[in-house]
Structure 1
């Protein structure tokens, strides 16, 4: 086993290919893996990297491949279909698990493997990318600033860039499913965009709506704060249209509509170009309150989501190679602390503490 080698499953996807391209900058050598031999061979030839063709259905082959490395970066979604076979193979192999998932249900499912991961002596850390590194690190920092916080609100907005096939497909699977928040420690299902509000991100003030972002699951594990809502930036006129979506959720959940949308996604480019990514950026905001009326706010500016995901995964990979990891189920914040996000190139942060709302 090479000290700097790891399995990159889903390497021929948009984000996987990005991680593979930049791995050498972190002195890492991924073994490219997935199901599409033609795409993998082409990428492996271009980057001069080894590759393996493995199906997630072939448990024996997957476990064998995982035993040859210290950890896997699992980048092949949709994760509600792919995460379970991969994490179970990792537990059998004794191999650390990272993924770039952002689905609440997947975070909750993987948390159920905490004891099995501890027994196997491995770390299981989903959400190693934009979902949910910057928001989770902000949540952990805010908990430190206001230890008795009862409410946590998190938001993000993007400027420029675009959406990859994988992200779009994951969204297609969730059409018509509604939203989610955490109340009194429990996840509560709501309508999508049940709450809209203006948020001052620092550089600009933007309208946002509530969404079922991964932090509804992970931030509770990271901080124990019982009430959590996540938001994303959206044009006000689009928000007004989305408020009507609940009338058509039954239609959006049909396989007929979802298959039409998936076909359209397949006809689009695989994701934003390097030039688009270089001009894009993300804004992140977090705020906590306690029952006495104190609050703390953190704002952050970062590269676009795909660039941040690439850097974040490779930084974590480097840390694992250096023996820096924690056993069991982890979030980015519990494994590497609130300051981890500041190790990512291009990230800027501001902290505001106020005595009253």
Structure 2
């Protein structure tokens, strides 16, 4: 039956369902909520399947005739392993839209099993991490001797979906991650900051645990990696307090309160807000001799990019354009994968 979008009734899943026809795809829609999935499938004239990832037999049965899954039901720390295991048992190619470091590392740990089963495991086929992964690959080719990589992104307008925010809630109190000498290590959230200029405006950035801490290493081999996003200086000034009380933020009753608040809010940015926003992607590589190369480019809103890159990669896999095992987006499809997405500006070297 081709392609399954699991979690199709979520904010990003719905965008993907809307965009699928532009790729000539008629996906099967999947999820836990029969009412929501059936309504969406009937509206689009698509097949659907209902199953809970915590029921392994049910999941494997649902995947029997599926070639490729785009897994959209996060937070992926709770759902990725179940779907990956089912894909390994049913010889189904696995794609997801995570940005969670531990999920990428899980995928990497299953590389040999995926090769033996003849399937592709590619977490992070959305905004997490296609745009940054492509820029990392591009920069590595500009400076092959690079030993350090910094990547940053700034959403210029728009907002976050419930799914993205809930993933952040689950990570509260866990601090951040960087890669040092090839190893992923824990550091305080926002332990470094920097300022960049874009279109005449100063943008303030802090370090966060973005997926490239994992994936950019597999794509480029660069052993030292930091990832950044924009934040207000006011919020950054409060991080010392947050880091000091990180133990409190880990408590489940605190997280449950935050979860309830998130679920009461809007599903995500409106279509108008999404269409009118852009994303700035920046990167820098440097080597042991002090040589540096910086580059940037811009893309549409992150949720728009997620839908388009996930469907683009799914179509490639369905057409037989893949390698077995664990792979990163740019590692398999090169840095020019992002050029296949509409309204993306070229990479621009700035130093």
User: TM-score under structure 1 normalisation?
Assistant: 0.96
Moved more, 245-254 or 93-102: 245-254
With 204-213 and 23-32 compared, the bigger mean Cα shift is at 204-213
Does 1:317 pair with 2:337?
no
Corresponding position: 1:293 with 2:290 = yes
Secondary structure at the counterpart of residue 29 of structure 1? coil
Match of 1:77, SS?
coil
Displacement of 1:203: 6.0
Give SS of 2:126's match.
coil
Tell me which residue corresponds to 1:22: 19
Partner of 1:227: 224
C-alpha distance in 2 between matches for 1:212 and 1:45: 39
User: Match of 2:141?
Assistant: 144
Q: Is contact 1:75–1:99 with CA below 8 Å preserved after alignment?
A: yes
Aligned to 1:260: 257
Q: Alignment partner for residue 30 of structure 2, among 30, 33, 46?
A: 33
1:35–1:54: 8 Å Cα contact kept in structure 2?
yes
Residue equivalent to 1:344: 341
2:113 alignment partner, SS class = helix
Q: Note the residue ranges of structure 2 that are not aligned, 5 or more in a row.
A: none
Give the secondary-structure state (helix, strand or coil) at the position aligned to 1:285: strand
Pair 216,302 (structure 1): closer, same or farther in 2 beyond 3 Å: same
SS of the residue aligned with 2:80?
A: helix
Matched, 1:128 2:107: no
Please give the per-residue CA displacement for 1:62-109, whole angstroms capped at 9, x wherever unaligned. 222222121000000110010001001001111100000001111111
**C-alpha separation between the residues in 2 aligned to 1:47 and 1:106?**
31
Mapping of residues 127-276 of structure 1, within 5 Å: 127-201=124-198, 204-276=201-273
Task: Measure how far apart 1:287 and its partner are.
Answer: 0.6
| 3-state SS in 1 of match to 2:339 | helix
Q: Give the 4+ runs in structure 1 shifted more than 3 A.
A: 200-205
1:12 to 2, 9, 12: 9
State the Cα distance separating 1:174 from its structure 2 match. 0.5
Provide the aligned length of Structure 1 versus Structure 2: 351
Contact 2:180–2:223 (8 Å) recurs in 1 = yes
Cα distance in 2, alignment partners of residues 163 and 332 from structure 1 = 23
Question: 2:324 aligned with 1:327, yes or no?
Answer: yes
1:17-39 C-alpha deviation (Å, 9 max, x unpaired) = 11111101110011000100111
| Residues 181, 189 of structure 1: 8 Å contact kept | yes
State the distance in 1 between where 2:231 and 2:163 align.
21
Match of 1:56 among 40, 53, 57: 53
Q: Deviations over 1:244-287 (max 9, x none)?
A: 21122111111111111111111111111111101111100011
> Residue 142 of structure 1 aligns to a residue in which SS?
helix
d(CA) in 2 for partners of 1:60, 1:176 = 35
Rounded Cα–Cα distance in structure 2 between residues aligned with 1:166 and 1:237: 25
Contact 1:180 1:211 in 2 (8 A): yes
The alignment yields a C-alpha RMSD, in angstroms, of 1.2
Task: Give the distance between the partners of 1:246 and 1:25, measured in 2 at CA.
Answer: 45
Distance 1:346 1:243 in 2: 39
Distance between the aligned counterparts of 2:200 and 2:142, measured in 1? 23
Other-structure match for 2:92: 95
Establish whether residue 70 from structure 1 lines up as the match of residue 67 from structure 2. Answer: yes
CA contact (8 A) 2:135 2:347 kept: no
Tell me, which stretches of 5 or more residues in structure 1 are unaligned?
A: none
1:201 Cα deviation (Å)?
A: 4.3
CA contact (8 A) 1:298 1:349 kept: no
8 Å Cα contact 1:201/1:299 also seen in 2: no
- In the TM superposition, what is the alpha-carbon distance from 1:238 to its structure 2 partner? 1.3
SS at match of 1:297: strand
Deviation at 1:353, TM superposition (A): 6.6
